[in-house]
Structure 1
Amino acid sequence: MADLGNSVEVSASGLRAQALRMRVIAENLANADSIATTPDGDPYRRRVATFAAEVDRATGATQVAVKSIDADKSAFGRVYQPGNPAADAKGYVESPNVDALIETADMKAAQRSYEANLNAIEAARGMSMRTVDLLK
């Protein structure tokens, strides 16, 4: 039974990690049009969550831990908007480095990982219930 509990904890760490990943992606999508308010300012910079394997000392199980949430260093886009107050001398405004297609694909992958971890928890719970039934 302890091993089933460990598997639930491992899957729960995966759920927490993927939920955080989906939150970061949602923030990226929400700010996809957030430009700077001044010509020398920067627009919103895309953020990316990274994970690492971490051993739980109490159980010895390897779980998922958030390593960091870093800013994407890729270049900003440029849009010609000469009337915008954030435009440079040539009339260009820097736009966020958020690509909706990439964010959507990342969101789908995070959703699938979340569902896989949820299914693993359900399977462990079902096995625990069957074990308890056999011991009656």
Structure 2
Amino acid sequence: MDFSDTIGISASGMQAQADRLRVVSENLANQETTGTTAGSDPYRRKTITFKETLNHETGASSVQVKTIGQDQTPFETRYEPGHPAADAKGYVKVPNVNMMVEVMDSHEAQHSYEANLNTMQITRSMLTRTINLMK
């Protein structure tokens, strides 16, 4: 494995975590988005999964987004009879977004992003030192 492989692996990890942060941000932005008509479904939490890809020439693995799906946990309801999305009994379905889960996911993604960034910076520093030794 050479320096470019290491930088490429770190870059793919950073991109994957940036995509994860985007999904978390979208979930947090829509945590109160209900339906607009009686009995309609609210915003459904998005999920993200990753896959490992192998470069057969170099043997280096990297990460990519596999899918952006939807969390199928059931919606909770809240009693709001005056709401446009309330059913006949006055209950409104609310999004299945848990703020604590999203905050924890964002912290984990941030730490993973930073770890990949640090790896990239260390690799760049090693490459610079190697070039300086060759002068």
Same fold (TM over 0.5): yes
State the distance in 2 between where 1:39 and 1:58 align.
56
What TM-score do you get using the length of structure 1 for normalisation? 0.96
Output aligned runs, 1:1-80, within 5 Å.
3-80=2-79
Determine helix, strand or coil for the equivalent of 2:128: helix
Determine helix, strand or coil for the equivalent of 2:118: helix
Determine helix, strand or coil for the equivalent of 1:45: coil
1:101 aligns with 2:134: no
What TM-score do you get using the length of structure 2 for normalisation? 0.97
Q: CA deviation at 1:58?
A: 4.2
Q: CA RMSD in A?
A: 1.0
Q: CA deviation at 1:12?
A: 0.1
Quote the sequence identity (%).
49
AA partner of residue 93 (structure 1): V
Q: CA deviation at 1:85?
A: 1.3
Determine helix, strand or coil for the equivalent of 1:28: helix
Q: CA deviation at 1:39?
A: 1.7
AA partner of residue 53 (structure 2): E
In structure 2, the partner of 1:87 is 86
Give unpaired runs (5+ residues) of structure 1: none
Give unpaired runs (5+ residues) of structure 2: none
Determine helix, strand or coil for the equivalent of 1:105: helix
Could you report, residue by residue, the CA deviation over 1:20-79 in whole angstroms, capped at 9, with x for unpaired residues?
000000000000000000123110000011001101234321000111001000011111
AA partner of residue 125 (structure 2): G
